[in-house]
Amino acid sequence: MSSSAYQTWQIGPAHVGDRSVPVASKPGVMAHGSIDTPAMMMAEWISAMDTPAAGARSLHLASGNGLVPAVAMAVGFAPDAFDRYKANAESTRRSLAAAPGVVAGAYAVHHEVLANDLVPATSCALATIRIPTDKHGVQQAVAEAFRALAVGGVCLIAGANDEGAKPAAKLLAQVFGHARLDAQHSSCRLLVATKLAEAPVDASSISSPWLDQHRFHEVPVTVADDRIVLSTRPGVFSWEHLDEASGILGDIMRIAPGESVLDLGCGSGVLGVLAARQSRTGRVVLLDADADAVRCARRTATAAGCRNVEVRASDVTDAVADEVFDVVVSNPPFHLGKGTDLAIPRAFIEQAYARLLPGGRLYLVANRTLPYESLIDECFGEVRTAHDGRRFKVIGAVRRV
């Protein structure tokens, strides 16, 4: 698959009950090329609902490709959809925009983790949660859903058993006072609860400090003999400590004074800040698809005093489509959902090549079992190995023309 294929959107019909709704997708979007069973379970439940009252709002957390909010809009809701990953948020926006007869103001899509002040308290009749992968994320999502729902509003939460569906059911019951298992198949569960009172039954179960989006976890680390304090949040890659791969790449990469650097998939910003300090005056741009990672990296760079750093939300390099750099550094993601997906690192490598000046260098760190060498060789015509360790390797190349 080429980089252009990664960037090519497709919109097709998704059939839910007796309804057909448009759903946009491309590589990098959750459930691309497949059906996400938990999302389909929620969509089927919503499709069978009676038409809601005029102006009824719905909240959708982790909206993915937009299937669930698209069905909610088809039923008659005005959806507010949220997803932390840029490609998912864009997929949701395209899905809703493609609905027949859609009018301005019928929906809102946000590249954010949580609704917070974007959705007023008690303003929604329906809330849906596609279970996130971390326990803090589930706690935050249930708290946000309860806050946004009016009394009488319904919360749906769905996910696979190995994603934490059973603990999510327990949490839902603690907050709402009950949780009904409405459906289960393909090792997935759909849980339903109705908000019966203004206050949660057990407020302590959702008293997470991470509901405050201005709260960060500060992690002091030392890389290449340079001390950096990382700002992180739950859900951001390796949020509680410096991951080993980034530490190895940070110790190996060399940035000359004045060189411009692109950090692809910056996470909380450790490699980008280290590059900015080594470059001193060179322009350094940090990119990440995760909305909270972008916020964390900005805070990390500001605390480090790096005035030559800019952090942008981006699906791979779409935020720097017309820019070129002397160096690209990356610790690319290779998981999409629970599986290994090489479409994303392939796009990282191909787009890194496109963003490098002639003579520019790529530094990439990866699990040593991943076959990135062939991907790099296809683009650059060479592969250089800077580190071959027990668990991780640092490989790269130089763009010749």
DSSP for 209-232 reads: GGGSTT--EEEEEEETTEEEEEEE
pLDDT at 108: 98
Q: Which of 164, 180, 119 has its CA nearest to residue 145?
A: 119
**Residue in this structure with the two tokens 């980089």, named with its chain if needed:** 3
**Phi, psi dihedral angles at 384 (to 5 degrees):** -115, 135
Residue 372's Cβ-side half-sphere holds a number of Cα atoms within 13 Å equal to 33
Q: How far is CA 204 from CA 94, 116, 208, in A?
A: 38, 19, 8
Contact between 118 and 80 under an 8 Å Cβ cutoff? The reply is: yes
Which string of b and e fits 320-332 if b means at least 16 CB within 10 Å?
Answer: beeeebbbbbbbb
Beta bridge partners of 310: 285
Q: Output the six-digit token pair for 263.
A: 């950090």
288 pairs with which residues across the strands? 313
Single-letter amino acid, residue 159: G
Neighbouring CB atoms inside 10 A of 105's CB total: 7
Domains in the chain: ranges and CATH: 3-207 (3.40.50.150), 217-398 (3.40.50.150)
What is the pLDDT at residue 344? 83
* pLDDT reported for residue 334: 67
Q: What is the dihedral of CA 296, 302, 307, 313, to 10 degrees?
A: 20
Question: In this structure, what token pair is assigned to residue 126?
Answer: 């329906």
Q: Which two tokens stand for residue 100?
A: 């027949």
pLDDT score for 362: 98
Runs of H (alpha helix) within 127-253: 135-148, 165-176, 244-252
pTM for the model stands at 0.95
The full DSSP string for 333-378 is --EETTEE-THHHHHHHHHHHHHEEEEEEEEEEEETTS-HHHHHHH
Side-chain half-sphere CA neighbours of 354 within 13 A:
17
10-residue mean pLDDT profile of the chain (401 residues): values are: 79 96 95 95 97 96 98 98 98 97 93 93 98 90 97 98 95 97 96 98 93 94 97 96 97 97 98 98 98 98 97 97 97 62 85 98 95 94 96 97 89
Residue 337 confidence (pLDDT): 47
Contacts with 4 (C-beta within 8 Å, 6 or more apart), sequence order:
none
